[in-house]
Structure 1
Amino acid sequence: MESYVAGIRRVFLLAFCIAGIWSAYIYQGVLQETVSTKQFGPDEKRFEHLAFLNLAQNVVCLIWSFIMIKLWSNGESGSAPWWSFWRAGASNTVGPAMGIEALKYISYPGQVLAKSSKMIPVMVMGTLVYGTRYTFPEYVCTLLVAGGVSIFALSKPSSKSISKLAHPNPGLGYGLCVLNLISDGFTNSNQDAIKASYPETTAWDMMLGMNLWGTIYNVVFMFLRPQASGYEAVKFCRQHPEVAWDILLYCLCGAVGQNFIFLTITRFGSLTNTTITTTRKFVSIVVSSLLSGNPLSTKQWGSVLMVFSGLACHIYFKWRKSQRMQKSM
């Protein structure tokens, strides 16, 4: 009876995590698309300073992680010192900035699809640099993802989608997404190195260190360099309070979403978290198409299904591999 009750609780906890991740990041995606494409006020001006969203989120997540550490930390030593995050913080600042800047040039569904193909550079680098051998099904999954993204990128978008973009330029937009993926690869490898050197580092410590350096870098970029646009961004928010409210909600969604991701990883593992976040991206594309006025053609829907079929197969093979490793132990 006790095991049955524990199983029911685990199912409800998983459903809670799924609902939290989906609601936080799907709504954040809607807000991101709104801020990047909407024309605000009677003068119908666009918010061109999209890098400001990264600075705002860094600040909110920095405060959030500091509060969580004070509330839940047990005072154990051995976590990574704040200065050790400077490399990961740098790549984590450049990557999201490239990704969000891409929304000036390509649609939100295109950006999400391109960023979903993270497995491609990982496998290419693994094969060329480290000599890693992958199975035939894994290569098939990668080809599905690469083919789907390519077909989507080469498909002619609807005139309505183009009219919402500030500066339509698919080549530049998808190029920025590639840089985003490369930066994410550096970020992940640096985070792994930090975790290996300081095993006692918690997710909150990682979140605090990353966002501390992200705040420093973005403040320099937005306010202290020549021709800095931070002051223009603040001025725009004062003149158009609606965009300031959207930015605040965007940041809170990111902080809440990170909480649910941390809970999912600690209770159910990274594979479950990957599955939830991958399906969330697919739902984000559907929501954007239905609610935000980004109609997709039949060919584009086919490419979306290709990408997420490849990702689903990739997750399945990872699950099978983990099952075999557990049985052999």
Structure 2
Amino acid sequence: MSNTMIGYWKESRSAKLLFSVAGIMLTLLVYGVLQEKIMRVPYGDDKEYFTSSLFLVLCNRLTTSAVSAGFLLISKKTLAPAAPMSYYCTISISNLLTTTCQYEALKYVSFPVQTLAKCAKMIPVMVWSTIIMQKKYNGKDYFFAMLVTLGCALFILYPASGDINPYQKGRESTVRGVSLMIGYLGFDGFTSTFQDKLFKGYDMEIHNQIFYTTLCSTFLCFPVLVYRGHLLLAISFMLRHQDCIIDVLLLSTVATASQFFISYTIRTFGALTFAAIMITRQLVSIILSCLWFSHPLSMEQWFGAVIVFGTLYAKSFLRKTPQLPLTQLNGADKPQGSINS
């Protein structure tokens, strides 16, 4: 291969990485702000809260499924599944549990706590990658992962308000919030790792995977909402508070856009490289949320944040050989991921 071809490959790969970073950062930053606004800020003069997280998941999946189907039709790609439907359903179920835990956790933890806690998904991703893809990590990878987890623990356990959520006080709230975040980390790590496995194991278009996974999610969400009576309640709420309709439409739009950036990144660079891209986004999200929603941070939380992001950036600078594939360079720096983080 000539030097010209090698230079072109590097430039092309760099351009693709820049495209992925810009797309993920923009869509997920907006997504995070809208998510917190819908779930945490009351609507109307009666100060009524929107409570149906599963309805938001349904709206997101319906929008994404329709857009991905449109892309397949316009590009004249086949609508036939590239992998067994059971694999799509596996991703769908895992992603539904991931997203539901994420939304529900916002009722018990503040957004900065949730965002920084996502950095602790490095260990779940390493575990799932070892189980599903037989990847191996060295002692340095685990050391970095433990440092990040320590920083996340400090951030969660020592909030400025004395509780991980200033709106939900008490030990029960803390236990529920932490439990939901643990569930989120486990399911999310599995989702992105299994996505990576499918992209590597099948000749699969990005839109193909997105279409079938979101279609499965839609079929799973709808009957549950109807059975629990939440569908009509959510629609009634939005009719009473029409500004909520705009928020939900915007949320679904940016969620759909993020789907394509996330799947493109995982398919091009791998699930763990996607995690590395998420680190800066999470730091910016925390700062933005603190400014927008006036979340105070304690000294211990700032110290925990320094440990987390300092470790992750140090790992980035200490990587051995720039020529290695990005999935190896960022072995443990893992969202959200997955289909919606």
For 2:238, the equivalent position in structure 1 comes to 237
Tell me the amino acid that sits aligned with residue 31 of structure 1: L
Contact 2:128–2:189 (8 Å) recurs in 1: no
The CA deviation at 1:286 is 1.0
Partner of 2:183: 179
Out of 49, 54, 64, the residue aligned to residue 46 of structure 1 is: 49
Spell out the pairing of 1:18-57 with structure 2 (5 A cutoff).
18-57=21-60
Q: State the number of aligned residues.
A: 321
Residue 333 of structure 2 corresponds to which residue in structure 1? none
Partner of 1:252: 253
Does 1:222 pair with 2:221?
Answer: no
Q: Structure 1 stretch 294-303 or stretch 153-162: which is displaced more?
A: 153-162
Residues 39 and 231 of structure 1: is their aligned pair in 2 closer, same or farther, counting only changes over 3 Å?
A: same
Quick one: distance in 1 between partners of 2:49 and 2:109?
15
What's the CA shift for 1:264? Answer: 4.5
| Deviation (angstroms), 1:137 | 1.9
Tell me the CA shift for residue 134 of structure 1.
Answer: 3.7
In the alignment, the residues of structure 1 paired with residue 104 and residue 60 of structure 2 have an alpha-carbon distance, to the nearest angstrom, of 15
1:103 counterpart (96, 103, 106): 106
- Are the equivalent residues in 2 in contact too, given 1:152–1:304 (CA < 8 A)? yes
User: Shift in Å at residue 66 of structure 1?
Assistant: 0.7
User: Aligned runs of 1:12-91 on 2, under 5 Å?
Assistant: 15-75=18-78, 79-80=82-83, 82=85, 84-91=87-94
Q: Which amino acid aligns with 2:63?
A: V
3-state SS of paired residue (1:46): coil
Q: Would you say the 8 A contact 2:128–2:193 is kept in 1?
A: no
Q: Write the letter of the residue equivalent to 1:233.
A: A
CA RMSD of aligned residues (A): 3.5
Q: Residue 65 of structure 1 contacts residue 204 of structure 1 at CA under 8 Å; is this kept in 2? A: yes
Q: CA shift at 1:257, angstroms?
A: 1.9
Name the structure 1 match of 2:141: 138
Give the match's secondary structure for 1:106: coil
Counterparts of 1:147 and 1:130 in 2: how far apart (Å)? 26
Which shifted more, 17-26 or 97-106? Answer: 17-26
Deviation at 1:201, TM superposition (A): 1.6
Identity level (%)? 29
Q: Distance in 2 between matches of 1:244 and 1:231?
A: 14
**For residues 52 and 320 of structure 1, do their structure 2 counterparts lie closer, same or farther at Cα, with a shift above 3 Å needed?**
farther
Q: Which residue is 2:296 aligned to? A: 295
1:192-242: CA deviations, max 9, x gaps? 554465x1221111101110111111112111x2x3322111110111111
Q: Secondary structure at the match of 1:42?
A: coil
Whole-angstrom CA distance in 2 between matches of 1:77 and 1:200: 12
Take 1:74 and 1:286, find their aligned partners in 2: how far apart are those partners?
41
The separation in 1 between residues aligned to 2:20 and 2:256, in whole angstroms, is: 14
Cα deviation, residue 78, structure 1: 7.1
Deviations 1:237-286 (CA, angstroms, capped at 9, x unpaired): 11111112111101111111223334555666666544322211111111
Report the alpha carbon displacement of residue 311 of structure 1 after superposing the two structures with TM. Answer: 3.1
The answer to which of 117-126 and 173-182 deviates more is 117-126
Contact 1:61 1:255 in 2 (8 A): yes
Q: Does the aligned pair in 2 maintain the 1:103–1:165 contact within 8 Å?
A: no
Q: In the TM superposition, what is the alpha-carbon distance from 1:22 to its structure 2 partner?
A: 1.5
Matched, 1:152 2:139: no
- The SS at the match of 1:118 is helix
Q: What letter is aligned with 2:313?
A: A
TM-score by length of 1: 0.83
- Equivalent residue, structure 2, for 1:284: 285
For residues 20 and 199 of structure 2, the distance between their equivalents in structure 1, rounded to whole angstroms, comes to 24
Gaps of at least 5 residues in structure 2 are 327-341
Equivalent position amino acid for 2:69 in 1: F
The 2-side partners of 1:179 and 1:28 are apart by: 20
Contact kept, 8 Å, 1:113 with 1:304, in 2: the verdict is yes
1:92 Cα deviation (Å)? 1.4
Q: Distance in 2 between matches of 1:200 and 1:132?
A: 21
SS of corresponding position for 2:323: helix
Q: Is the 8 A contact 1:271 1:315 kept in 2?
A: no
1:259-278 pair list within 5 angstroms: 259-264=260-265, 273-278=274-279
Give the Å deviation of 1:115. Answer: 2.0
Query: Separation in 2 of the partners of 1:236 and 1:166?
Result: 26
Distance 1:83 1:324 in 2: 33
d(CA) in 2 for partners of 1:136, 1:303: 22
Q: Which moved more, 1:273-282 or 1:140-149?
A: 273-282
1:142 counterpart letter in structure 2: A
The 3 A distance-change label for structure 1 pair 183 and 276 is closer
Distance 1:12 1:194 in 2: 24
> Could you say what secondary structure the match of 1:54 adopts?
helix
